[in-house]
Amino acid sequence: MAAMRSDEGIRYEPDERSPWPVSAVVGFQGVMLILPQSVLYMSIVALSAGQDDTYLTWAVFAALTLNGVGTALQAARIGRLGTGHVLITGTATPLIAITIIALSEGGPAMLASLVLVSSLLQFMLAAWMPLLRRVITPLVSGTVLMLVAVTIVPIAIQRLTDVPEGIPVAAGPTAAATTLIVTIGLGLRASGAMRLWTPLAGIVAGCVVAGLSGLYDAQPFFDSPWVSIPAFAMPEFQLPPSMEFWSLLPAFLVMTLVLAIMAMGGGMAIQQTSWRTPRVPDFRLVQGAVRANGVASLLAGLAGIMPTMVHSANSVSLTSFTGVASRRVGFAFGIILIGLALLPKLTALLLTVPAAVAGAFVLIIMGHLMVEGIRMVARDGLDYRKALVVGVSFSLGSGLQSQDIFGELFGGAWGLMLNNGVLTGGLAAILISSFMELIQPRRRRLKADLDVSALSGIDKFLRGLAADCGWNDTSTNRLCLVAEEVLLSLLGATEVDGADSERSLTIYARPGGKVVDLEFLATPQDENIEDRIAYLSEQAESPEEHEMSFRLLKQLASTVRHRKYHGMDIVSVQVNRSQ
């Protein structure tokens, strides 16, 4: 078991209270990352679908407000909603194409109905996450994050040369290069309070160079009003739904599945970025991330606009650059973004950032996201089967993104949707993982009480399994000892927590010629066994008694994984046969 790295760059962890001025500075920089995208994509959707200015004004206002609400909800962790981390919510860019089709065919009423119904899928997936653990895995989530990065990078590159007519073409790349140099330079050299200003310094430097070249246009700021609250009109829902609704619903459901997977990936990535000593991802928080995004999407449906999604890239890069992971940043972000929704003049000021400058910064953000995706895949363990899943899915998704194969074959909503590399690659990863699960040897199951008295039954169960696999006595004894230590570890945590001793235990065992995979499903506890094993002190001459089970597990098992869900703990161990 590899020791966990320590990230000394984190100044404030999620549970620490960063000063409000610091939180506001970091939150403001997060707003600068998400604001242009939200306004631009909402404008594209409304204008492409032939909607009037009234709807466009309302859509932009509602999107900014709900993005702020969603980010604050992620930071708050109310009950089973949210993560307690800085997880930025933004506009669901993968749904732009089918949103335009829905608006064109049925207006805001049809879009509202489709978003409302499809958003319920996120709540279902959050509840079913333990059951889907072998299909929607960290491997799949990491692959999706990498695909998001490679699909956005070409768009960012195109923006580097996006200059108005009459301006030298070199002005764009020059401003972009300035942004990259300042941001990377400060990111590598700055420490302490200076790190807080790294993203903003890079953007400001790029804007200054752009202004010297005539690329900076401040006229939209002067043309915008100071305060504006658009009129709200609740969309009229159609009952019974039209045929157009039923024809588009499958596409919305499939894309919502992608949004949920992206939320899962974001929930895991932000946990690994936000602590000085990274922890094993808590899947209860991952469930909370999906639920919180479901709430924001549900509200988007009521508002008649396209749904929200977790923007993992912005979240991870903001935390990495500034070193501030306090949840107060999420609250500050929400307050600032909602305030900007009411103050169009300030919004217009932030939107004056030239496309080349924004494109350069997006390149850095996508680099962070790519690295986090790779880390997530690597932490899940890469054997040749998993490498095949990642390689094929990534190649398929990144390759199809630049082609119009499905558009020519199917046309309409399905053609546009399947041309999305994130969707195609993500579905490929899910399907290949599912097939890999189906062809594995059948799992055997044992149910017992989580009690020492269950040891004899577990021992008999595993010895029979080992005999069927043709294992020798040494391997069989090690298999039984691993199971015993997992049981004792779970029981030890129960005693420390003072939990009810009457807890159920289900063991799944998958036999193999050289390896046996064991899964222990138990009612939840506070302690994470995988964390305890990773944090064991190798220098301890006389380890404490309660650490003995963890130390034995570390020596006897090839891998130990502990996933904590709401209502269930799952400990997975792998035991190799002795030579």
- Considering 345, 362, 380, which residue would you say is the last residue of a domain? 380
pLDDT at 289: 96
d(CA 428, CA 430): 5
Considering the entire predicted model, what is its pTM? 0.84
Q: Which range, 19-33, 397-411, 430-444, is most confident?
A: 19-33
d(CA 6, CA 12): 14
Q: Give mean pLDDT, residues 527-543.
A: 58
Q: Is the dihedral of CA 533, 537, 542, 545 positive or negative?
A: negative
407 part of a folded domain? no
Confidence of residue 579 (pLDDT cuts 50, 70, 90): low
Number of domains in the chain: 2
pLDDT over threshold 50, residue 2: no
Q: Do 114 and 186 fall within a single domain? A: yes
d(CA 572, CA 574): 7
Contact 144/265 with Cβ under 8 angstroms? yes
Which of these ranges, 6-20, 57-71, 373-387, 397-411, has the smallest mean pLDDT? 397-411
DSSP code of 95? Answer: G
302 part of a folded domain? yes
286 part of a folded domain? yes
Q: b/e for 22-53, b at 16 or more Cβ within 10 A? A: bbbbbbbbbbbbbbbbbbbbbeebbeebebee
How many CB atoms sit inside 10 A of residue 540's CB?
A: 10
Q: Do 147 and 276 fall within a single domain? A: yes
- DSSP line for 311-333: -HHHHHHHHHHH-B--THHHHHH
pLDDT over threshold 80, residue 436: yes
pLDDT over threshold 80, residue 253: yes
Counting Cβ atoms within 10 Å, is residue 243 exposed (0-12), middle (13-18) or buried (19+)? exposed
Q: Do 60 and 165 fall within a single domain? A: yes
Instruction: Look at residues 53, 142, 136, 152 and name the one whose alpha carbon lies nearest to residue 93.
Output: 152
Q: Do 255 and 369 fall within a single domain? A: yes
405 part of a folded domain? no
Contact 181/189 with Cβ under 8 angstroms? no
How many CB atoms sit inside 10 A of residue 556's CB?
A: 18
- Considering 380, 395, 426, which residue would you say is the last residue of a domain? 380
450 part of a folded domain? yes
Q: Do 369 and 448 fall within a single domain? A: no
Phi-psi region of 8 (alpha: psi -120 to 50; beta: other; left: phi over 0): alpha
259 part of a folded domain? yes
Kindly report each contact of residues 409-415 with a partner whose C-beta sits within 8 Å and lies 24 or more positions away, as own/partner. 412/101, 413/97, 413/98, 413/101, 413/247, 413/248, 413/251, 414/251
Kindly report each contact of residues 177-183 with a partner whose C-beta sits within 8 Å and lies 24 or more positions away, as own/partner. 177/360, 178/205, 178/206, 178/208, 178/209, 179/203, 179/205, 179/206, 179/357, 179/360, 179/361, 180/360, 180/363, 180/364, 182/206, 183/321, 183/360, 183/361, 183/364
Mean pLDDT, all residues of the chain: 85
Read off the pLDDT of residues 208-252 as tens digits, 9 standing for 90 and up. 998 888 888 777 777 778 877 787 766 777 767 788 888 888 889
Q: Give mean pLDDT, residues 533-555.
A: 60
Structure tokens at 473: 């006595």
pLDDT over threshold 60, residue 4: no
Which residues are registered as beta bridge partners of 446?
Answer: 507
Q: Do 363 and 468 fall within a single domain? A: no
Q: Do 150 and 252 fall within a single domain? A: yes
- DSSP line for 534-577: HT--TT-SS--GGGHHHHHHHHH-SEEEEEEETTEEEEEEEEEP
Which residues are registered as beta bridge partners of 510?
Answer: 517
CATH of the domain at 504: 3.30.565.10
Q: Give mean pLDDT, residues 528-532.
A: 68
**Length of the chain in terms of residues written:** 579
| Whole-Å CA distances, 261 to 1, 472, 490 | 27, 42, 30
Q: Do 460 and 351 fall within a single domain? A: no
**Sheet order of strands, 515-522 included:** 444-449, 504-510, 515-522, 568-576, 559-565
Read off the pLDDT of residues 145-192 as tens digits, 9 standing for 90 and up. 898 888 888 888 888 888 888 888 888 899 999 999 998 888 888 776
In this structure, which amino acid lies at residue 143? T
Q: Do 354 and 472 fall within a single domain? A: no
Contact 382/390 with Cβ under 8 angstroms? yes
Domain that holds residue 484: 444-576
312 part of a folded domain? yes
Q: Give mean pLDDT, residues 508-529.
A: 81
